[in-house]
């Protein structure tokens, strides 16, 4: 019988060598009737070589062979078997599609025990014909694992074990690609998979080594690698913990500092109002103009402090929302008029009418619109118009603020909604700000089950939209 030359060695190659001391005792011809072993593999070639050894030995011993695999693996196996002189019509050979077989007993993402026993049990009884030994290759567990349904894969391994001990005798070969276990999160489940098998065969990086010396070296290197990886993971976890602690302290500091700043600024505002009142009585116009400017600066300071306070409340989930039902048109008009008073260089043009009501925190929605309008004015110093549009669309009210300013390049458009993110192009860097207005706005809109997004092109202005569900 002609056997194709192989690049790597499989168990069928080494079962006759004298180097078996460090190899798991498994050799296809010595396998017990009820072995349930798992082979890990890096390449399909290695798996198929190994599998053809297993099935080939089965045919030679007159066993029935059931192969539940993907089409590609069935094709690859049959090609190898043909090269060994077997034919795919071989008596006792039952190839099945893994996905189609799975669909016969999976219910709500888990294998259903009774259906499994019925489907697979009857298959085995049919294959054995009451007298033959049965060898099975099953790839359904690996498919479940790869698609991310690891609990179902482990459950299915258990059902195979139950079937083996309660109903019928058969040997079972499972195989998993090694790369599907990469990552710390698989550590516990990998151990579970190994536990569900009577024998575990490492992938080709170990199995392909023939001499005991090579194998001892490989084990030593792997132990060293495992130790350093463990140390590295522990180090990273400690670093992440330190980072979280620093973040927590920073949030605490922002919260404390903004509270501390708020008190003097509030009294400053109070004294300014008093001064304004007194000066109005004396008619000192020029000093009153200075007071106006002072007021503007104090208002800016108040807004910054409030934003910082909001952010620290958001981080701790303590930002309160007072929901009420109100007409959105009136709010938009009111805010546009207020912002217009301060924005002397720009005309804010409002268009659209919805008559719609929303259930939301009126002040917070107003705060979002103020943020967008202030940004529209701030980032369009050479333009003189900002358009505000309000419309109703598919159960939502959509408010849009369009400016004709510097615009935002595509690569920044998602990031500007992140905390403290500011575009750092030389041209944009000159604008004052902390990079928190959009983050706060976005959080507020999300908390109202709405959506905030931007359309823009660099140098062509920007349009920010937000949508809120109708009442």
Q: Which residues bind ligand ADP (CB under 6 A)?
A: 371, 375-376, 379, 403, 405-408, 416, 421-423, 428, 433-439, 462
CB of 443 to ligand ADP, least distance (A): 11
Report in angstroms how near the CB of residue 202 gets to ligand ADP at its nearest.
52
Tell me if 261 sits within 8 A of 305, measured CB to CB: yes
Choice between 142 and 406, CB closer to ligand ADP: 406
Beta carbon nearer to ligand ADP, 305 or 423: 423
Nearest approach, Cβ of residue 463 and ligand ADP (Å): 9
* 3-state secondary structure (DSSP) of residue 376: helix
Report, in Å, the least distance between residue 370 CB and ligand ADP. 11
Comparing CB distances to ligand ADP, the nearer of 9 and 421 is 421
Among 318, 304, 51, which residue's Cα sits nearest to residue 175? 51
CB of 312 to ligand ADP, least distance (A): 16
Provide, rounded to whole angstroms, the least separation between the CB of residue 343 and ligand ADP: 13
Instruction: Give the H or E element holding residue 278.
Output: helix 212-282
Residues 6+ apart with CB under 8 A from 184: 233
Report the C-alpha gap between 178 and 40 in whole angstroms.
6
- Least distance (Å) between residue 354 CB and ligand ADP: 23
User: Which residue's C-beta sits nearest to ligand ADP?
Assistant: 433
Q: Based on CB atoms, which residue is closest to ligand ADP, 91 or 457?
A: 457
Q: Which is nearer to ligand ADP, 120 or 376 (CB)?
A: 376
Cβ atoms of 80 and 86 within 8 Å: the answer is no
Closer residue to ligand ADP, CB minimum distance, 212 or 340: 340
Give the nearer residue to ligand ADP in terms of CB position, either 285 or 411.
Answer: 411
Q: Answer for the pair 16, 97: CB distance below 8 angstroms, yes or no.
A: no
Q: Quick one: which of 155, 163, 82, 97 has its CA closest to 125?
A: 163
- Angle ∠(275,278,279) on CA atoms, nearest 5: 85
State the nearest-atom distance from the C-beta of 158 to ligand ADP, in Å.
53
Closest CA to 298 of 259, 265, 257, 261: 265
Least Å from the CB of residue 326 to ligand ADP: 25
Which residues does 201 contact at the CB level (< 8 Å), separation at least 6?
A: 11, 24, 26, 37, 38, 39, 40, 50, 207
Question: What is the three-state SS of 222-251?
Answer: HHHHHHHHHHHHHHHHHHHHHHHHHHHHHH
- Give the nearer residue to ligand ADP in terms of CB position, either 394 or 420: 420
Report d(CA 140, CA 237) in Å as an integer.
35
| CB 468, min distance to ligand ADP, A | 19
Nearest to ligand ADP of 221, 434 (CB atom): 434
How many helices and strands (H and E) does the chain possess? 14, 15
Q: Which is nearer to ligand ADP, 322 or 429 (CB)?
A: 429
* CA–CA gap between residue 361 and residue 319 (Å, rounded): 11
Both tokens of 189, joined, read 């489940």
């Amino acid at each position: 019988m002609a056997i194709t030359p192989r690049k790597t060695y499989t168990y069928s190659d080494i079962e006759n060598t004298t180097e078996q001391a460090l190899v798991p005792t498994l050799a296809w011809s010595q396998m017990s009737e009820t072995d349930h072993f798992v082979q890990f593999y890096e390449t399909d070639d290695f798996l198929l070589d190994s599998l053809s050894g297993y099935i080939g030995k089965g045919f030679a011993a007159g066993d029935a062979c059931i192969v539940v695999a993907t089409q590609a693996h069935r094709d690859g196996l049959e090609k190898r078997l043909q090269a060994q002189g077997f034919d795919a019509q071989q008596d006792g050979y039952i190839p099945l599609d893994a996905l189609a077989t799975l669909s016969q007993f999976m219910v709500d993402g888990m294998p259903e025990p009774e259906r499994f026993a019925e489907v697979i049990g009857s298959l085995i009884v049919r294959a054995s014909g009451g007298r033959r030994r049965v060898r099975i290759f099953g790839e359904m567990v690996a498919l479940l694992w790869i698609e991310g349904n690891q609990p179902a894969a482990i459950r299915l391994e258990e059902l195979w074990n139950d079937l083996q001990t309660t109903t019928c005798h058969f040997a079972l070969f499972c195989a998993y690609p090694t790369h599907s276990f990469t990552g710390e999160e698989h550590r516990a489940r990998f151990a579970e998979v190994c536990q569900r098998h009577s024998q575990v065969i490492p992938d080709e990086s170990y199995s392909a080594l023939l001499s005991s010396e090579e194998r001892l070296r490989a084990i030593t290197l792997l132990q060293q690698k495992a130790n350093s990886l463990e140390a590295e993971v522990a180090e990273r976890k400690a670093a992440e913990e330190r980072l979280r602690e620093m973040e927590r302290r920073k949030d605490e500091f922002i919260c404390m500092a903004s509270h501390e700043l708020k008190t003097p600024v509030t009294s400053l505002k109070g004294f300014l109002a008093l001064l304004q009142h007194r000066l109005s009585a004396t008619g000192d116009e020029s000093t009153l103009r200075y007071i106006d400017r002072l007021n503007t600066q104090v208002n800016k300071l108040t807004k910054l402090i409030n934003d910082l306070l909001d952010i620290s409340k958001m981080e701790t989930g303590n930002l309160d929302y007072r929901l009420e039902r109100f007409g959105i048109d009136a709010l938009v008009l009111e805010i546009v008029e207020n912002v217009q008073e301060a924005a002397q260089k720009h005309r804010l043009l409002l268009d659209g009418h919805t008559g719609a009501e929303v259930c939301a925190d009126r002040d917070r929605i107003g705060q979002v619109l103020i943020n967008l309008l202030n940004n529209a004015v701030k980032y369009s110093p050479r333009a003189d118009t900002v358009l505000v549009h309000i419309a109703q669309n598919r159960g939502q009210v959509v408010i849009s603020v369009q400016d004709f300013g510097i615009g935002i390049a595509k690569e920044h458009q998602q990031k500007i909604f992140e905390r403290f993110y500011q575009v750092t192009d030389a041209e944009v860097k000159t604008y004052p700000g902390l990079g928190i207005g959009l983050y706060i706005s976005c959080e507020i809109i999300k908390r109202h089950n709405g959506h905030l997004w931007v359309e823009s092109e660099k140098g062509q202005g920007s349009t920010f939209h937000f949508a809120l569900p109708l009442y």
